[in-house]
Amino acid sequence: MPLELAEFNLSEERLEFRDTLRRFFEEHAPITEVRRVMEADGSGSSSKLWQLASEELGLAGIAIEEEHGGQGFGRKELGIALGEVGRSLAPIPLFAAAGLAAPVVGAVAGDEAAEWLEPIAIGEAAALAWVEADGDWDPAATRLEAVGSGGERRLTGEKHFLLGGAEAKRLFVVARESGSHCDEGLGLYAVEGNDPGVELLRRESLDLTRPLWSLRLTDVSARAVGTPGAAAEGIRQGLDEATALLCSEMVGGMRRVLETAIDYASERHQFSRPIGSFQAIKHKCANLLIDYEGSRTAADGALVALDEGDPEAALLASVAKSHIGPAYLRTATESGQIQGGVGYTWEYDAHLYFRRAMACKALLGDESAHQERLAMWVARGLEEGAA
């Protein structure tokens, strides 16, 4: 019997949209196709599936404004789409392009946003490169310098932990003005993926379904997005939005992990009874449900805050990430345990979701980083209140 949960946070139209996406990914991205792409050499992504998702469903531009070539829906709709991608582990760069690069570009570009967002909206994959060798997700840690003046610059250096690198037609690189520090002098620069000075190196990563790349730039021509050296606020705003969208993708994965655990506990018999009838397994399944419900509430709150322009949207994104990261990993671990020894074998899919949970927990900052950020907000508020 399939698991049924009340959808308190979806209208009838959004529920129909989610069901349409679910049928699409069940047909075009079953786990057998995910494994085929995962085990093949290359990008780790299906260009055919990405084309279908972009052209038939318009997923790439779903949250991009109509004047910028998109469909003009909100982050909530993009979050629903990412949730279905997370549930199926579909091998497409939806998060890399629409969930990470597009929000940062849109926040930085200002009046020039249409030039950069229109290609993404029609399915031209893009990637954001900002993390360097130290692995610090904070853009203020950027050391790569943009050489030159004005809107045309030259870039030489390396970026790491790049999502969607192989599919990207255009790379958006965070670099700084010479001699600047912290947020001062940060800029966003567009690099064409086919430039001869661009080299992508695939790195071994824990999540086999979503490869990571290193980017090596050698005297590459780059165009400034927005005002050179004045992009820090936009970059941070875009990364906060990406964090909330990543949480929605993680909740989609948690939903599938929960469904798998319940199905197995209902079908697997021991001592002539389903193992789900034993108290120990009941408790595990109940804990999975609690983690899932709390996580989808946190993710939904972060997305609603973004769509409504809530000044505390960034805070809610950190609240969601600090909760959902550990919760997803717990559910993936417990689901594997419910499935017993076979749950940890290569043939079963539990390990794929465990790997995704581990990778997502670290991506865009783990719970410690976001809890520290929340603590700083609280301390700042107390200081302002005392003053």
**For the chain, what are the domain ranges?**
12-94+117-121, 126-229, 233-381
Q: Model confidence at 387, in pLDDT bands (50, 70, 90)?
A: low
Res 275: pLDDT: 80
**Cβ(331)–Cβ(352) below 8 Å:** no
The mean pLDDT of 21-26, rounded to a whole number, is: 96
Res 344: pLDDT: 77
Tell me: pLDDT of 322 over 70: yes
Q: Model confidence at 246, in pLDDT bands (50, 70, 90)?
A: very high
What's the CATH number for 126-229?
2.40.110.10
The mean pLDDT of 194-212, rounded to a whole number, is: 93
Tell me: pLDDT of 355 over 80: yes
Tell me: pLDDT of 1 over 60: no
Res 305: pLDDT: 96
Nearest to 110 by CA among 265, 222, 245, 233: 233
Task: Indicate the pTM of the whole model.
Answer: 0.95
**Cβ(338)–Cβ(257) below 8 Å:** no
Work out the percent of the chain whose per-residue pLDDT is above 90: 79
What's the CA gap between 119 and 128, in Å, rounded?
A: 15
Res 21: pLDDT: 96
The dihedral formed by the CA atoms of 208, 210, 214 and 218, expressed in degrees to the nearest 10: 140
Q: How many residues are there in the chain?
A: 387
Residue 201, phi then psi, degrees to nearest 5: -125, 120
Three-class SS state of 156: strand
Write out pLDDT tens, residues 324-340: 999 999 999 999 889 88
Res 235: pLDDT: 98
Give the up-direction half-sphere exposure of residue 71: CA atoms within 13 A in the CB hemisphere. Answer: 18
Nearest to 105 by CA among 140, 129, 85, 80: 129
What's the CA gap between 96 and 60, in Å, rounded?
A: 10
Helix (H) or strand (E) holding 171: strand 170-176
Res 2: pLDDT: 59
Res 3: pLDDT: 67
Q: Model confidence at 18, in pLDDT bands (50, 70, 90)?
A: very high
The mean pLDDT of 14-40, rounded to a whole number, is: 94
Res 269: pLDDT: 81
What's the CATH number for 12-94+117-121?
1.10.540.10
The mean pLDDT of 140-161, rounded to a whole number, is: 94
What's the CATH number for 233-381?
1.20.140.10
Work out the percent of the chain whose per-residue pLDDT is above 70: 97
Res 104: pLDDT: 98
Cα angle vertex 196, ends 191, 197, to 5°? 65
Q: Mean pLDDT, the chain, as a whole number? A: 93
